[in-house]
Amino acid sequence: MTPVRQIIHVDMDAFYASVEQADCPELQGKAVIVGGDPQTRGVVSAASYEVRKFGVHSAMPTAQALRLCPHAVLLPVRMARYAEISHVIHAIFESYTPLVEPLSLDEAFLDVTDSTNLFGPAEEIGKQIKNRIREQTSLTASVGIAPNKFLAKLASDLRKPDGFVVITEQNRQEILDPLSVGRIWGVGKVTEETLRSHHIETIGQLRRQTAEQLRSIVGSAAADELLRLAQGLDNRPVEPDQQCKRLSSEQTFATDVRDGEILLSVLMEQVEEVAQRLRRRGLQARTITLKLRYGDFRTVTRSETLVEGTNVTNALWQVAERVFRQWQSRSAGPLRLIGFAASGLEDEHARQQLLFRDDQQEKLKKLDHVVDQIRDRYGRRALHRGTTHPPESSES
């Protein structure tokens, strides 16, 4: 008999903001915003729980966030510091299982099905991971444990911050049914409002709909997916980096975002994060992919393959912006989620070197190196990369 999968989802609590509070104890208990300059259409990258009660959330324009909470402390993004802490956290994950699927610097799935003989039940592993993260980083993580990825991710979000929830085959509908349909992974406000207008407010009410009834409300593709998730069904495997061969970063918004400049700002940050991760691992990518999820649950991807692999931020950004603007000109709409992925990964030294060097690319590589060093020392705000004109002249 095949054992029931044991999946753990770990999600750090307000990661960027929590790192800043841990590094600067006087910020403990204070409203902290990590984000871009309000004078340059900067957006919120992270909000501490103390500032969220004022309505501040990620991807909100920083200027708007400061109007909602004028006494908040605004800090620049220090990506190198967050990557350093992330490395410690992911090392903890990998000490329990090689089946780790990173979703971002602060979030990952772990398949511990084959690890229970060595470390004990999944619940015990989850508790050990939480304790070790707190001991080694002074940060809290929310942990969800379940038979699949959808339920594990939902579980980790139920009791944030510092949550710990276990969903089993036996209790899954007991936990799912009372929850709002908005708790279903990928359901945005548009879909939620559409369902509520048909008196479908909870996952239990959704689950009791027939496929035909639901298709008439949200369409065929969304209906089948919603019914499957309402029953807590999800067959996706955990895909470690070495198997899925991609590095990615995603942002799910608290409310659907239509403003193209805000979306580009978020995308720029994702490109920078992924590019830096590529460089740290000595990798370069051949293909970039944008993941775009609309408010009505539809998800599309747009990809482009480069002639040669690269880990240069400028090169990846030029392609990402071009792909985004092509989507925007044809199919723009309010987004629930935006993500950037780099795939077709290869060792940056594996390919045969060109006989003649590309001087421009060499300059951009040196620029990335300098930018990484400066941001490591002074924080992300020390340099600002524009989103509409990405070449090196946009740094200031």
Close Cβ partners of 214 (under 8 Å, ≥ 6 residues apart): 206, 223, 226, 227
Residues 109/145, Cβ–Cβ less than 8 Å: no
The confidence score (pLDDT) of residue 392 equals: 30
Q: Which residue has the higher pLDDT, 339 or 351?
A: 339
pLDDT in tens, 191-226: 888 899 999 999 999 999 999 999 999 887 788 889
Checking DSSP bridges between strand 299-310 and strand 283-294, what pairing results, if any? antiparallel
- Quote the pLDDT of residue 391: 32
Residues 249-306: pLDDT tens digits? 888 887 788 889 889 988 998 998 899 888 888 889 999 999 998 877 788 999 999 9
- Residue pair 304/322 in contact by the 8 Å Cβ criterion: yes
Specify the pTM: 0.73
The whole-angstrom distance between residue 122's C-alpha and the CA centroid of its chain comes to: 24
Write down the pLDDT at residue 369. 62
The confidence score (pLDDT) of residue 371 equals: 61
**Is the predicted pLDDT of residue 355 greater than 90, yes or no?**
no
pLDDT of residue 367: 63
HEC readout, 9-31: EEEECCHHHHHHHHHCHHHCCCC
pLDDT of residue 241: 64
Residues forming the active site: 107
Pairing of strands 73-75, 32-35: parallel
Strand pairing partners for 370? none
Name the nearest CA neighbour of 17 among 51, 62, 55: 51
What is the radius of gyration, based on Cα positions, of the chain?
A: 21
pLDDT in tens, 61-83: 899 999 999 999 999 988 889 98
pLDDT at 380: 46
User: Nearest CA to 39 among 70, 56, 63, 65?
Assistant: 63
At residue 362, the pLDDT reads: 59
pLDDT band at residue 382 using 50, 70 and 90 as cut-offs: very low
What is the phi/psi pair of residue 162, to 5°? 60, 35
Calculate the average pLDDT of the chain.
Answer: 86
Burial of 53 (0-12, 13-18, 19+ CB in 10 A): exposed
Greater confidence (308 vs 378) lies with 308
Residue ranges and CATH numbers for the domains of the chain are 1-146 (3.30.70.270), 173-230 (1.10.150.20), 245-394 (3.30.1490.100)
% pLDDT > 90, the chain: 58
Overall average pLDDT of the 353-357 stretch: 45
pLDDT digits (tens, 9 = 90+) for 123-144: 999 999 999 999 999 999 999 9
Structure tokens at 232: 């807590």
- What's the pLDDT band for 160 if we cut at 50, 70, 90? very high
Please tell me the predicted confidence (pLDDT) of residue 189: 76
Cα angle, residue 225 at apex, residues 223 and 229 outer, rounded to 5°: 115
- Closest to 15 in 3D by CA, of 109, 84, 111, 99: 84
pLDDT recorded at residue 360: 59
Is a pLDDT exceeding 70 seen at residue 150?
A: yes
CB–CB of 156/163 below 8 Å? yes
Tell me what the mean pLDDT of segment 19-24 comes to: 96
What is the percent of the chain where pLDDT is above 70? 86
Mean pLDDT of 26-37: 94
